[in-house]
């Protein structure tokens, strides 16, 4: 009986050849519920943490719509490491919040606000990490409007080419990340750009925003219609990795050498949030596949964790559903279940049935410690 049980577990959690070195950990049941958001909040997107005290922060991306959602509520929430809600502050009931990040230099949480979608202007804001209920955020910088990038030229196997033309009227800041010097990098999904704010903690409330790259590889004509999304710096900060959600790609930008942007990995179904672990593996939330994957230094999948496992009786998703952002804390990975309908076809998506929204927790100690790779 014991031998049979072990064999079943190995079949369940690993796929690959008979050689241990070739096994890829696959566990669709890896995601456990960490917290359920207050019942008036929808679509958790951004997540970050304060390593000094273990607090975890979650921001929501509820987009206004004249016909069915004219006045959505958006907020940033502060949870304890055990999942107790410590504080909440709302953002005018309209402003969708996207990427958020803790800055140890000034002990603030920085937030990308997609204000263009609600008429308040897209910007970067910050709020003290120990904020209390109904605290007020302050402006860091307005995102510049630089327009769409130049056409992307695609070379086909028959030697013909396609020209993909982009157009945009919106600034869509998405993910943000700090380097060790305190400079803040920002991805823009519609303008196809990466921006940088030098010394974000010390530049006041009207910080200068520099365009690092403006390139057609960072825009998309695919689905979902977000180009440059999650961003992550390598441990030596020489390269910035960028998820292009609509193109199903992970891109790599050389920050210290040629400035070249190249394709690192492809065919990931809706890559959204990304983060490196201490071993140099890149973790990716695949929002259209409802799972979390890990890529090694060669861009090969070495783990695939979580899946959508249906609805609970309270209307929340079991497992992962449209996972958006992730935060690695110790041997755990916390993932926001955005569970937002992305297609125009009504009645065809499980996200339409969700009424309560969650953050999941995935334990992956062997992978995160480098014992299994």
What domains does the chain contain, in order, with CATH numbers?
A: 28-368 (2.120.10.30)
Distance between CA atoms of residues 247 and 239, nearest Å: 20
More confident residue, 18 or 152: 152
Residue 218: pLDDT above 60? yes
- Written as six digits, the tokens of 80 are 């304890």
Q: What is the pLDDT of residues 110-168, one digit of tens each?
A: 999 999 988 889 999 999 999 999 899 999 999 999 998 888 888 788 878 787 888 89
What is the four-CA torsion angle of 91, 168, 229, 176, rounded to 10 degrees?
A: -50
Output the CA–CA distances (angstroms, integers) from residue 4 to 10, 11, 22, 27, 202, in the order listed.
10, 11, 22, 19, 61
User: What average pLDDT score do residues 56-69 get?
Assistant: 82
- Report the percent of the chain where pLDDT is more than 70: 90
Mean pLDDT of the chain: 90
Task: Report residue 347's pLDDT band, with 50, 70 and 90 as the boundaries.
Answer: low
* pTM score above 0.75: yes
Residue of 354, 336, 338, 301 whose CA lies nearest to 24: 301
User: What average pLDDT score do residues 169-195 get?
Assistant: 97
Residue of 338, 308, 316, 314 whose CA lies nearest to 325: 338
Q: What is the pLDDT of residues 254-312, one digit of tens each?
A: 999 889 999 999 999 999 999 999 999 999 999 999 999 999 999 999 999 999 999 99
């Amino acid at each position: 009986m014991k031998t049979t049980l072990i064999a079943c577990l190995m079949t369940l959690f690993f796929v690959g050849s008979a050689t241990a070195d070739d096994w890829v950990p696959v566990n669709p049941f890896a995601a456990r519920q960490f917290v359920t958001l207050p019942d008036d909040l929808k679509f958790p997107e951004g997540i970050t943490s304060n390593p000094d005290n273990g607090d975890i922060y979650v921001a929501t991306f509820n987009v206004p719509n004249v016909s069915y959602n004219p006045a959505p509520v958006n907020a940033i929430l502060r949870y304890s490491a055990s999942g107790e809600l410590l504080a909440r502050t709302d953002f005018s009931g309209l402003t969708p919040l996207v990427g958020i990040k803790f800055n140890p230099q000034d002990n603030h949480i920085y937030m990308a606000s997609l204000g263009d979608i609600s008429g308040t202007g897209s910007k970067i804001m910050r709020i003290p990490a120990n904020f209390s209920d109904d605290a007020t955020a302050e402006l860091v910088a307005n995102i510049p409007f630089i327009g769409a990038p130049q056409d992307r030229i695609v070379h086909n196997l028959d030697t013909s080419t396609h020209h993909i033309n982009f157009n945009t009227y919106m600034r869509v800041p998405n993910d943000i990340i700090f380097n060790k010097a305190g400079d803040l990098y920002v991805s823009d999904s519609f303008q196809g750009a990466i921006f940088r704010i030098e010394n974000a903690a010390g530049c006041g409330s009207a910080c200068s925003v520099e365009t690092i790259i403006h390139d057609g590889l960072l825009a998309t004509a695919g689905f979902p219609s977000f180009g440059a999304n999650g961003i992550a710096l390598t441990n030596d900060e020489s390269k910035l990795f960028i998820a292009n959600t609509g193109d199903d790609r992970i891109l790599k930008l050389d920050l210290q050498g040629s400035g070249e942007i190249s394709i690192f990995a492809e065919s990931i179904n809706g890559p959204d949030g990304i983060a490196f672990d201490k071993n140099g593996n890149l973790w990716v939330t695949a929002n259209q596949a409802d799972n979390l994957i890990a890529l090694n230094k060669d861009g090969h999948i070495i783990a695939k964790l979580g899946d959508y496992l249906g609805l609970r009786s309270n209307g929340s998703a079991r497992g992962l559903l449209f996972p958006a952002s992730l935060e690695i804390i110790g041997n755990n990975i916390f993932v926001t279940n955005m569970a937002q309908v992305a297609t125009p076809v009504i009645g065809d998506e499980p996200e339409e049935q969700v009424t309560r929204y969650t953050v999941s927790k995935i334990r992956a100690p062997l992978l995160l410690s480098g014992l299994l790779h």
